Amino acid sequence: MSRIGKSPVNIPSGVNVKLDGNIVTVKGSKGELTQTIDDCVKLTVEENQITFNRESDSPVHRAKHGLYRALIQNMVVGVSEGYKKELEVIGVGYRASATGQMLDLSLGYSHPIVIEIPSEIKVSADTQKGKAPVVTLESYDKQLLGQVAAKIRSLRKPEPYKGKGVRYSGEEVRRKAGKAAGKK
């Protein structure tokens, strides 16, 4: 058995799980998410737990067993607690501001970058004097949140010499010595 797939998903109070054929709908206080599940994985909802079983031990079925368990777990946690990602904008003159669902970034290019954030994600930008601006993204959809955060980070990835760029909060950037260190 898959180590991840065999452990059940606990359903907290306030979360409603509905199974319609091979479509799972999870509804909670933060929002509602749906996921289509492959026929090789059978899902059973009992009281406050969801269990997963697969039809055979083929490698494809074993992989999907753990995959769908993890996806449903992320959905349940998302609609009950939500997810949060923070991005730091590090660099001289680099700025970030959020108005509504629009994120305005100045990342050293000749023009400001304006990104429209999907309505499922709540965005805020915090700028304190002496510190790098922090962009905070909050959502109940983990997949969409990660995708949007990766898109923002890809606009100016952290570079290894000065460490400038957009990085996840807590991300370690490996630094290189540079040209002066090699001339000794």
Summarised one tens digit per residue, pLDDT across range 160-181 is 999 899 999 998 989 988 887 6
pLDDT at 179: 80
Structural domain includes residue 178 = no
- Of 65, 80, 95, the domain-final residue: 80
- Of 42, 65, 80, the domain-final residue: 80
Note whether 65 and 42 are within 8 A (CB).
no
Structural domain includes residue 181 = no
pLDDT at 2: 62
Domain count, the chain: 2
Instruction: Tell me, yes or no, whether 18 and 75 share the same domain.
Output: yes
What is the average per-residue pLDDT within 23-32? 93
What is the average per-residue pLDDT within 3-28? 90
| Model pTM score | 0.88
Proportion of the chain above pLDDT 90, given as a percent: 69
> % helix / strand / coil in the chain, to the nearest 5?
20, 35, 45
pLDDT at 3: 80
Give the CATH number of the domain where residue 49 resides: 3.90.930.12
- DSSP letter, residue 181: G
Helix locations, 57-141, DSSP H: 59-80
pLDDT at 47: 85
What is the average per-residue pLDDT within 6-25? 91
Instruction: Tell me, yes or no, whether 153 and 117 share the same domain.
Output: yes
Structural domain includes residue 2 = no
Instruction: Tell me, yes or no, whether 89 and 101 share the same domain.
Output: yes
Structural domain includes residue 19 = yes
Summarised one tens digit per residue, pLDDT across range 92-121 is 989 999 999 999 999 999 999 999 999 999
Instruction: Tell me, yes or no, whether 88 and 105 share the same domain.
Output: yes
Can you give the residue range of the structural domain that contains 98?
Answer: 83-168
Summarised one tens digit per residue, pLDDT across range 72-88 is 999 999 999 999 999 99
